[in-house]
Amino acid sequence: MFFKLPVPEPNAPDIDLKAFEIKGKLLGTGTRRFQIPFEHKERVTKKCCSWLRICYASVDELSPLLKLQSFEKIDPISVANEARVVSAIAAQAKVVLQGFDTTLEQDNRLLSEGKLTMNMRNCVLMRRGEKEVLHAWIDLDNTIQEVKDMSPRELKKYLTKNVDDRGKEPSFAWRKEKYFEEFWEPLVKGVPYHKQLEEMNNSLEE
């Protein structure tokens, strides 16, 4: 997937133009390519999301980031910022999907018919796997758009009904559940990600 620093509208406030200038110095204004799995803990996914968190940081969110020594490992900043990050990934996922000659459904049908040679089957399996990752990011964005304004209590109720216990490790459904458990819920509750990791580590040591 390919990403660029979003350019402000021509009539954008001066403060937004200044923020764009600062981001450009931090990230550059060229296109960045990321090939990421649907796994928020993977190094390449962290690198991509860290880059995008700066891209979509508000002026207030940007100031603390300038004090960091590295911009490759930035934890989730806010609910609004993380929603923009996932939406950016989902938008690019849709672009990539449009470049395929077949859909995910067509690949599934080809595989189920059992008429492919071994080499052809392996190629379709690989192609289908890429599409499944892209669809997973789009699905995550759709869910985030539904829950981004929910309170912790409303979110918990929604996740219990629609997300939790939908698949076993390492399925996409399981990874989605873990994303909300480890990233989104702490954000909604106002718990910094590094604090969340400390609490998780302490519980494992007990």
- Gyration radius (Cα) of the chain, Å: 19
End-to-end CA distance of the chain: 41
pTM of the predicted model over 0.85? yes
Query: What is the spatial distance between Cα 135 and Cα 62, in angstroms, rounded to a whole number?
Result: 30
Q: Are 3 and 34 in contact (CB under 8 A)?
A: yes
Run means of pLDDT, 10 residues per run, the chain, 206 residues: 93 90 90 96 95 93 86 89 97 97 97 96 97 98 98 97 97 97 93 54 43
Task: Give the model's pLDDT for residue 199.
Answer: 46
CATH superfamily membership of 2-205: Rubisco LSMT, substrate-binding domain (3.90.1420.10)
Task: Give the model's pLDDT for residue 79.
Answer: 95
3-state secondary structure of 202: helix
Task: Give the model's pLDDT for residue 87.
Answer: 98
Q: Enumerate long-range contacts of 153-160, CB under 8 Å, 24 or more apart.
A: 155/180, 155/184, 155/185, 155/188, 156/185, 159/185
Task: Give the model's pLDDT for residue 144.
Answer: 98
Task: Give the model's pLDDT for residue 191.
Answer: 80
